[in-house]
Amino acid sequence: MSENEKHGKGGVYSVKGEEFDRDSRYIPTRIVKDPAPGSDDYPVEPGRYRLVAAYACPWANRAIIDRDLLGLQDVISMGNPGPTHDADSWTFDLDPGGVDPVLGIPKLKDAYLKRFPDYSRGITVPALVDETTGEVVTNDFPQITKDLFFEWKDFHKDGAPDLWPEDRREEMEAVMERIYTEVNNGVYRCGFAGSQEAYDAAYERLFTALDWLEERLADSRYLMGDKITEADVRLFTTLVRFDPVYHGHFKCNRNKLTEMPNLWGYARDLFQTPGFGDNVDFQQIKDHYYKVHTDLNPLGIVPLGPDLSGWTTPSGRG
């Protein structure tokens, strides 16, 4: 890892050239219902895989929420690293003895190296690990959540939401792409800008997108209509971190989420939906960003605010 590269939650990012750039190269292996002959893909098999996902991380939080929404808790086990880590690996410091009770490892890196002894990229979450071998299968976070829906459908609970509705899918893919580039990644583009010019441009892009979402949600309960979809999961994990972290720590401070009426009501509506707010840990979120990003917060002081009690107030969007 060069002096211009740092390990981030969604991969290795670079500030070389002053503009934040996320390295989105992940392990491409998938877990699928019917692996093609000769492929490296793994078969869907209940009880075989462990989702390693930190509550602090927005990319991992997506997989945690989808697993709950689809009712896969008894089909795919879950291990949760603590909120802080060093440049080497996420660690299981919240578990007794600092060891994952199923995988028997103190660092997620151990599962990566067991399959790829010379693995040199970022040790990221979420990751799916094969419990039978202890080897990492994949850390491709957008593909993981997509496969939880399409490939594990036989094991979804009765009444599981249709997170990828066929009749809205093309539009939803476009909406999710804009959310990813301009919002999910946009807050990082602000926070890790390497120059005033890069920051100014990132700031304008982020709030242009948030204004677009504010307008979109003026007459629609959710992003794609009256039902929750994957697009909502992907936006929620950024919104729920906005005021506690991104507004101050990443300088995304034109306004708070609480000052955008439609987005704030929408975010509370989701937060109060089973599977969303019960998978949010605000303290872990704040501990992670403020303690791990020592380049942005060298003293590691974690703010006591903001007041987060508003998340449980009525959303008015029923």
Pair of tokens at residue 214: 């504010």
Q: Rounded CA gap, 51 and 141, in Å? A: 11
* Domain assignment present for 161: no
Among 98, 130, 155, residue at a domain's last position: 155
Whichever domain contains 149, its CATH number is 3.40.30.10
Q: Is the domain of 13 the same as that of 141?
A: yes
Angle at the Cα of 221 from the Cα atoms of 213 and 256, rounded to 5 degrees = 45
The residue behind tokens 């504010």 is 214
CB neighbours of 183 closer than 8 A, spacing ≥ 6? 206, 209, 210, 213, 235, 238
Terminal-residue alpha carbon distance, the chain: 48
Q: What is the pLDDT of residues 19-61, one digit of tens each?
A: 888 777 899 999 999 999 999 999 999 999 999 999 999 999 9
Q: Is the domain of 208 the same as that of 105?
A: no
- Total domain count, the chain: 2
212 is in an annotated binding site: no
Q: Is the domain of 150 the same as that of 170?
A: no
The whole domain housing 263 covers 166-312
Q: Note down pLDDT in tens along the chain; length 318 residues.
A: 222 334 444 444 545 457 888 777 899 999 999 999 999 999 999 999 999 999 999 999 999 999 999 999 999 999 999 999 988 999 999 999 999 999 999 999 999 999 999 999 999 999 999 999 999 999 999 999 999 999 999 999 999 999 999 999 999 999 999 999 999 999 999 999 999 999 999 999 999 999 999 999 999 999 999 999 999 999 999 999 999 999 999 999 999 999 999 999 999 999 999 999 999 999 999 999 999 999 999 999 999 999 999 999 999 997
Q: Is the domain of 147 the same as that of 212?
A: no
* Domain assignment present for 129: yes
The 8-class DSSP code of residue 192 comes to T
Instruction: Count CB neighbours of 267 within 10 A.
Output: 27
Structure confidence at residue 245 (pLDDT): 98
Q: Is the domain of 195 the same as that of 276?
A: yes
Helices marked H in the chain — which ranges? Answer: 58-70, 109-115, 141-150, 169-178, 186-191, 196-216, 230-241, 247-249, 261-271, 282-292
Give catalytic residue positions. 57, 188
Q: Rounded CA gap, 88 and 11, in Å? A: 12
Whichever domain contains 241, its CATH number is 1.20.1050.10
Angle at the Cα of 43 from the Cα atoms of 38 and 45, rounded to 5 degrees = 160
* Domain assignment present for 318: no
